[in-house]
Amino acid sequence: MSQPLPSHTKVAIIGSGPAGLTAAIYAGRALLNPFVIAGREVGGQLMTTTDVENFPGFPGGVMGPELMTKMREQAERFEVDFLEENVVSIDTQAKPFSIKTESHSLTADAVILATGASAKWLGLPSEQRLRGHGVSSCATCDGFFFRGKEIAVIGGGDSAMEEATFLTRFASKVYLVHRREEFRASKIMLEKAKSDPKIEFVLNSEIEEVLGEEKVSGLKIKNNQTNEVSTLSVEGVFVAIGHQPNSGFLAGAIEVDATGYVVIKDDYHTSVPGIFVAGDLHDHKYRQAITAAGAGCAAALEAERYLARKD
Residues in the chain: 311
Q: How far is the CB of 229 from ligand NAP (least distance, A)?
A: 16
Q: How far is the CB of 103 from ligand NAP (least distance, A)?
A: 33
Identity of the residue, 188 or 308, whose beta carbon is nearer to ligand NAP in the bound complex:
188
Chain center to CA of 274: 24
Identity of the residue, 166 or 268, whose beta carbon is nearer to ligand NAP in the bound complex:
166
Identity of the residue, 152 or 298, whose beta carbon is nearer to ligand NAP in the bound complex:
152
Q: How far is the CB of 177 from ligand NAP (least distance, A)?
A: 8
Helical pair 158-167 and 187-194, crossing angle rounded to 10 deg: 30
Identity of the residue, 131 or 269, whose beta carbon is nearer to ligand NAP in the bound complex:
131
> How buried is residue 213: exposed, middle or buried, by Cβ count under 10 Å (0-12/13-18/19+)?
exposed
Q: How far apart are CA 212 and CA 209, in angstroms?
A: 9
Q: How far is the CB of 133 from ligand NAP (least distance, A)?
A: 20
Interface with ligand NAP by CB under 6 A: which residues? 122, 154-160, 162, 178-180, 184, 186, 241-243, 287
Q: How far is the CB of 154 from ligand NAP (least distance, A)?
A: 6
Which one from 109, 142, 158, 280 is the annotated catalytic residue?
Answer: 142
Identity of the residue, 128 or 186, whose beta carbon is nearer to ligand NAP in the bound complex:
186
Identity of the residue, 101 or 136, whose beta carbon is nearer to ligand NAP in the bound complex:
136
Residue 297: active-site member: no
Q: Three-state SS across the chain?
A: CCCCCCCEEEEEEECCCHHHHHHHHHHHHCCCCCEEECCCCCCHHHHHCCEECCCCCCCCCEEHHHHHHHHHHHHHCCCCEEECCCEEEEECCCCCEEEEECCCEEEEEEEEECCCEEECCCCCHHHHHCECCCEECCHHHHHHHHCCCEEEEECCCHHHHHHHHHHCCCCCEEEEECCCCCCCCCHHHHHHHHCCCCEEEECCEEEEEEECCCCCCEEEEEECCCCCEEEECCCEEEECCCEEECCHHHCCCCCECCCCCECCCECCECCCCCEEECHHHCCCCCCCHHHHHHHHHHHHHHHHHHHHHHC
Residue 138: active-site member: yes
CA angle in degrees (0–180, nearest 5) for 256-261-266:
70
Q: Which residue is nearest to ligand NAP (CB)?
A: 157
Q: How far is the CB of 48 from ligand NAP (least distance, A)?
A: 11
Q: Give catalytic residue positions.
A: 138, 141-142
